[in-house]
């Protein structure tokens, strides 16, 4: 993994030294992504600069440094990520060209450049199985290509301002390029408060966008110089498709046992490729099905005990470390366990806004960052089990949504909508907040969520409401911008999927996975200069999963059927039978105790009035209700606090 950034100046009159100085200032902002080496390449006549920060994992010699120039001199490439199938691509190059290419080293970046020269940029990018964000300069066409991997594992932002085109792995580089050119996008802020992340293609800054997974853009330098481009539009080079929609495939026709064997072969190959590194590697182990399966196959391939890492909590109700320990003992790994205390969480919070680049409020970012920091003491590369839930049906909300939709469908919509309007009143919410209910504030929150679900006109609306942190994000802002449409609002994207379960998984693969889970993993790992690799997102594994019939993923109220069957080959079935907790943290208690002073300072009423972005009266009420136990508001408060923390850091950082 690495970090990349660059620009094309509109007024292309800067000297090589000035271009390099500007690129270096940007590059310094992402030093944590690549502490081992840095490089800059400039082209004064076009106002172009490319900068790269390197975390050396393959070919540790200077031959692997970037920017890298192709043998003919036509292409200049900067790449963040890993190309796992680089050996396969190299064999194809040799077969098609009938010669052994002359190489300076053995990095995957060099192989990709050779493929680009032989097949062209788009064709070569389509060949990649891996995680990447790249920028490619074509000296002949004077054209810049930006591309992002198929599942969105590596980030890439791009934007236009008066001074030109800018792109980077993180938003901090944009401020280093032009400090006063960027403003907060209130429409994106609405999406953030709804989801706790900002979905692609939006970012927190106006006129700055995330390149969507599986997309690329081509920009001619002349169009930037002339001002002919007011907005850059990306195009897909790959799209997520399903085979369970009338198309036949081997996996849709195969038996459960046959698909189990096929999945084992695919995962074994993916993990084998992702274990290739010239540095120490390990695996994150939570004790859940996904990480346990990755660990089991990895240990089966390794000649010695694999290093496994997990986080323990001092609050026992959140602690899964004992499950991870049991799996590690069974597989005989070299296990390392770290205890997360409230004091450690408080110490790590100031770093979150710096590493997460824009507002991000999945509270599991705290243990994720700590785990990456501690693992980095012994390891440079760590495999993870992320992606298994979205591909194989692992989230409890999938079953909740299906049951709720069946229940609500008993009443006609013409009855439910006026009923919801009649009973969803502020007085009722206040009554729930002031009433002692079995289960406490959590029960009140569930009742409010049911009231929000009641008027759902269709399943897509119900699922959007179910996964929203608030169904009224505009109430949190001082003004009322229009909330942009997302995949949740485009019903045609759902109708292509054969069942409600398939629709939910498809939606999560397009939004929640890249914009929450993969964002969390990338920023936490890069904040510690650690590379994470995700075998479940191997291209062949993804294609296989997308063509599986739903009943090979979900049966009754049980998900990940195929993964469970496969894991039983490596572990006793008793270790699989436990409730899923996820990477939850005791945020409600922390905000009333260890984090109370920090939160109160960020939510000071005068401060909010001075900043003018948030509804200070509503924010004060949410804080008061949580502190006095009237409602359990930790999820919404964490959203607000993470925005405030990011905004403070953004305004104060030069």
Whether the pLDDT of residue 266 is over 60: the answer is yes
- Structure confidence at residue 248 as a pLDDT band (50, 70, 90): very low
Residues in the chain: 654
Strand partners, 4: 52
- pLDDT (mean) for 326-340: 94
**C-alpha to C-alpha distance for 31 and 176, rounded to whole angstroms:** 13
**C-alpha to C-alpha distance for 604 and 592, rounded to whole angstroms:** 16
- Structure confidence at residue 574 as a pLDDT band (50, 70, 90): confident
Q: What share of the chain is helix, strand, coil (3-state, %, to 5)?
A: 50, 15, 35
Cα-to-chain-centroid distance, residue 143: 29
Residue 583 in contact with residue 368, Cβ under 8 Å? yes
Q: What does the DSSP assignment read for 588-611?
A: HHHHHTTTHHHHHHHT-HHHHHHH
- pLDDT (mean) for 573-580: 75
Whether the pLDDT of residue 230 is over 70: the answer is yes
Residue 180 in contact with residue 166, Cβ under 8 Å? no
Could you tell me which residue, 413 or 609, shows the higher pLDDT?
A: 609
Quick one: pLDDT at residue 62? 79
**C-alpha to C-alpha distance for 174 and 159, rounded to whole angstroms:** 9
**C-alpha to C-alpha distance for 289 and 324, rounded to whole angstroms:** 10
- pLDDT tens sequence across 446-464: 677 777 888 888 888 899 9
Distant-in-sequence contacts of 246-252, Cβ < 8 A, 24+ apart: 249/547, 250/547, 251/544, 251/547, 251/548, 251/549, 251/552, 252/547, 252/548, 252/549
Quick one: pLDDT at residue 247? 43
Q: What's the longest Cα–Cα distance across the chain?
A: 78
- Of 98-112, 204-218, 541-555, give the lowest mean pLDDT range: 98-112
- pLDDT tens sequence across 35-62: 888 999 999 999 999 999 998 787 677 7
Strand partners, 338: 311
Going by C-alpha positions, the residue among 211, 224, 72, 240 that lies closest to residue 135 is 211
State both tokens at 100.
């052994």
> What strand order describes the sheet that includes 75-83?
68-69, 75-83, 130-138, 143-148, 215-220, 235-236
3-state secondary structure of 33: helix
The DSSP code for 386 is T
Q: What does the DSSP assignment read for 499-542?
A: SHHHHHHHHHHHTHIIIIIHHHHHHHHHHTT-EEE-GGG-HHHH
Q: Are strands 235-236 and 215-220 parallel, antiparallel or unpaired?
A: antiparallel
> Around Cβ 147, how many Cβ atoms within 10 Å?
25
- pLDDT (mean) for 155-160: 97
Could you tell me which residue, 538 or 409, shows the higher pLDDT?
A: 538
- Structure confidence at residue 494 as a pLDDT band (50, 70, 90): low
Quick one: pLDDT at residue 410? 87
**C-alpha to C-alpha distance for 148 and 578, rounded to whole angstroms:** 37
- pLDDT tens sequence across 283-329: 999 999 999 999 999 999 999 999 999 998 877 766 778 899 999 99
Quick one: pLDDT at residue 107? 86
- pLDDT tens sequence across 631-646: 788 999 999 999 999 9
DSSP E strand boundaries for 10-74: 37-43, 48-54, 68-69
Phi-psi region of 571 (alpha: psi -120 to 50; beta: other; left: phi over 0): beta
Going by C-alpha positions, the residue among 590, 623, 596, 629 that lies closest to residue 608 is 623
Mean of pLDDT over the chain:
89
Domain residue ranges in the chain: 2-236, 587-652
Share of the chain above pLDDT 90, in %: 68
Could you tell me which residue, 435 or 558, shows the higher pLDDT?
A: 558
Burial of 289 (0-12, 13-18, 19+ CB in 10 A): buried
| CATH number given to 2-236 | 3.60.20.10
Q: What are phi and psi of 61, to 5 degrees?
A: -75, 165
**C-alpha to C-alpha distance for 70 and 112, rounded to whole angstroms:** 9
- pLDDT tens sequence across 166-207: 999 999 999 999 988 899 999 999 999 999 999 999 999 999
Indicate if the alpha-carbon torsion angle 586, 573, 395, 273 is positive or negative.
positive
| Residues in Cβ contact with 432 at an 8 Å cutoff, skipping those fewer than 6 apart | 444, 447, 448
- pLDDT tens sequence across 591-621: 999 889 999 999 999 999 999 999 999 999 9
- pLDDT (mean) for 466-480: 91
Whether the pLDDT of residue 491 is over 90: the answer is no
- Structure confidence at residue 252 as a pLDDT band (50, 70, 90): low
Residue 143 in contact with residue 220, Cβ under 8 Å? yes
- Structure confidence at residue 522 as a pLDDT band (50, 70, 90): very high
- pLDDT (mean) for 139-151: 97
Could you tell me which residue, 477 or 439, shows the higher pLDDT?
A: 477
3-state secondary structure of 633: coil
Burial of 17 (0-12, 13-18, 19+ CB in 10 A): exposed
């Amino acid at each position: 993994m690495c970090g990349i950034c660059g620009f094309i100046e509109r007024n292309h009159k800067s000297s090589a030294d000035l271009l390099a100085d500007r690129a270096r200032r940007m590059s310094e902002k992402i030093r944590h992504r690549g502490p081992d080496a840095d490089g800059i390449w400039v082209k004064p006549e076009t106002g172009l600069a490319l900068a790269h920060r390197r975390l050396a994992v393959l070919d540790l010699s200077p031959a692997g440094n970037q920017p890298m120039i192709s043998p003919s001199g036509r292409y200049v490439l900067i790449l963040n990520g890993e190309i796992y199938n680089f050996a396969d691509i190299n064999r194809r190059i040799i077969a098609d060209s009938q010669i052994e290419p002359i190489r300076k080293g053995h990095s995957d970046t060099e192989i990709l450049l050779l493929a680009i020269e032989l097949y062209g940029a788009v064709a070569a990018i389509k060949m990649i199985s891996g995680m990447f964000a790249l920028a490619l300069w074509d000296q002949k066409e004077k054209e810049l290509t930006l591309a992002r991997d198929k599942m969105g594992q590596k980030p890439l932002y791009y934007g236009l301002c008066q001074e030109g085109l800018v792109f980077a792995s993180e938003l901090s580089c944009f401020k280093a390029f032009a400090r006063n050119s960027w403003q907060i996008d209130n429409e994106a802020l609405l999406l953030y408060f709804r989801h706790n992340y900002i979905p692609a293609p939006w970012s927190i800054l106006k006129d700055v966008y995330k390149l969507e997974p599986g997309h690329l853009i081509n920009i001619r330098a002349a169009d930037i110089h002339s001002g002919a481009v007011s907005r850059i539009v990306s195009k897909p080079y790959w799209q997520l498709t399903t085979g369970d929609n009338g198309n036949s495939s081997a996996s849709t026709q195969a038996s459960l046992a046959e698909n189990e064997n096929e999945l084992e072969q695919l995962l074994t190959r993916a993990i084998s490729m992702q274990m290739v590194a010239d540095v120490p590697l390990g695996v994150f182990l939570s004790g859940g099905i996904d990480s346990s399966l990755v660990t089991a196959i990895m240990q089966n391939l390794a000649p010695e005990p694999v290093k496994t890492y997990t986080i323990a909590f001092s609050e026992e109700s959140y602690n899964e470390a004992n499950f991870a320990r049991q799996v590690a003992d069974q597989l005989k790994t070299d296990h390392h366990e770290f205890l997360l205390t409230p004091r450690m969480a408080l110490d790590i919070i100031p770093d979150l806004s710096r590493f997460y680049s824009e507002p991000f409020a999945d509270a599991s970012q705290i243990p994720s960052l700590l785990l990456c920091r501690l693992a980095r003491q012994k390891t440079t590369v760590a495999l993870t089990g992320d992606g298994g839930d979205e591909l194989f049906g692992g989230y409890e909300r999938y079953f909740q949504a299906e049951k709720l939709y069946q229940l609500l469908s008993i009443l006609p919509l013409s009855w439910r909508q006026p009923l919801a309007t009649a009973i969803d009143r502020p007085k009722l919410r206040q009554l729930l907040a002031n009433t002692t209910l079995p289960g406490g504030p959590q029960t009140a929150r569930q009742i409010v969520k049911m009231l929000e679900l009641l008027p759902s006109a269709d399943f897509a609306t119900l699922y959007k409401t179910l996964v929203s942190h608030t169904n009224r994000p505009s109430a949190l802002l001082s003004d009322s911008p229009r909330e942009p449409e997302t995949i949740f609002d485009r019903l045609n994207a759902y109708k292509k999927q054969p069942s409600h379960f398939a629709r939910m998984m498809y939606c999560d693969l397009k939004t929640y996975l890249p914009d929450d889970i993969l964002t969390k993993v990338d920023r936490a790992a890069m904040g510690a200069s650690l590379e994470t690799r995700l075998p479940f997102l191997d291209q062949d594994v993804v294609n296989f999963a997308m063509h599986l019939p739903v009943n090979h993923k979900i049966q009754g109220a049980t998900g990940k059927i195929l993964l469970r069957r496969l894991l039983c080959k490596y572990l006793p079935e008793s270790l699989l039978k436990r409730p899923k907790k996820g990477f939850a943290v005791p945020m409600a208690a922390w905000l009333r105790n260890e984090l109370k002073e920090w939160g109160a300072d960020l939510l000071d009423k005068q401060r909010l009035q001075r900043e003018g972005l948030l509804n200070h009266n509503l924010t004060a009420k949410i804080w008061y209700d949580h502190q006095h136990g009237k409602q359990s508001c930790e999820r919404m408060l964490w959203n607000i606090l993470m925005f405030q923390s990011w905004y403070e850091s953004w305004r104060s950082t030069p």
